[in-house]
Amino acid sequence: SSSVMNISEHLSCPLGFGHYNAVDICILETVVIVLLTFLIIAGNLTVIFVFHCAPLLHHYTTSCFIQTMAYADLFVGVSCLVPTLSLLHYSTGVHESLTCQVFGYIISVLKSVSMACLACISVDRYLAITKPLSYNQLVTPCRLRICISLIWIYSCLIFLPSFFGWGKPGYHGDIFEWCATSWLTNAYFTGFIVCLLYAPAAFVICFTYFHIFKICRQHTKEISDRRARFPNHEGDAAGDTGHSPDRRYAMVLFRITSVFYVLWLPYIIYFLLESSRVLENPALSFLTTWLAISNSFCNCVIYSLSNSVFRLGLRRLSETICSSC
């Protein structure tokens, strides 16, 4: 009971009608955060190991971006150990303001990396389908490494102003009291983040996937017309298999992107409303924040369910672990 009282005193939990209700909510929040932390770390470690065990996954250059996202999501899970340990054993000797700022900055940078990787993946698939003959000359390993490096640098720089008192980097659902009461959002900084990160990434993804599926639909229609005219034509099979894998892989990546924005849209909306002082609700803050962070685990589930090569690598990894045990 003393640990529960300790948690309820130091967490910024949504307050209920009574003390016991508030304690129950704090315990529920603790369970959610601990469970998500475990799932994110375990899921992304699995993705990273599977990529090392399945060489066929390296056939696409997007595998580099997928692995970058997996590492970023893994670091999200590791970063979530900070509030998890704070919930389980709070230490008053820690500089709460510094811990809160660093934790919020790291989480924001890592999710920015994921968002930028999704945008780069959509551009990569767009180039693969619209320029198949010159794709290998356009997308080289060197350019790929430079692009990933720029993603990390840009993500680190865009949230730096938060350390100089210009708003909050976007982390809500505050675990530390200082974050909730003393570190406030700023409408101008929020607009700055939206204009330089959220909006461009969303525009690029919508533009590229719209054209990808439009081209794939036209290609499928042309193949169907040729088959109707020439039922025994040998070139149809070659034409079909040439684009079908790209289309299926684009669908997998489109599902990952769609789930990402579905989970992040409530967070972004609340971020804008809170920054404009239109809405301020601790319960909504906690719910939208950890719903968005749960995406770090959802990517693993979507990829394992949608990609047959990934499932094969996962089966090999499981067999290796079982045989060693």
**What pLDDT is stored for residue 295 in this prediction?**
83
Stated pTM of the model: 0.77
**What pLDDT is stored for residue 16 in this prediction?**
41
Q: What is the largest CA-CA distance in the chain?
A: 79
Nearest to 118 by CA among 275, 304, 262: 262
**What pLDDT is stored for residue 232 in this prediction?**
60
pLDDT truncated to tens, each residue of the chain (325 aa)?
A: 444 444 444 444 544 434 446 566 677 777 888 888 888 898 888 888 887 776 656 656 777 888 888 899 899 888 887 776 766 655 544 577 777 888 888 888 988 998 898 889 889 888 888 888 888 888 888 888 899 999 999 999 999 888 787 888 876 556 667 777 778 788 888 888 889 988 898 899 888 888 888 887 787 777 677 777 766 654 444 444 444 556 666 677 777 778 888 888 888 888 888 888 888 777 788 888 888 888 888 877 776 666 666 777 777 777 777 777 6
Residues 18, 26 contacting (CB under 8 angstroms): no
Q: Where are the domains of the chain?
A: 27-226+244-324
Residues 53, 320 contacting (CB under 8 angstroms): yes
Q: Which CATH architecture has domain 27-226+244-324?
A: Up-down Bundle (1.20)
Nearest to 117 by CA among 240, 312, 295: 295
Identity of the amino acid at 307 = N
Separation of alpha carbons 274 and 268, rounded Å: 10
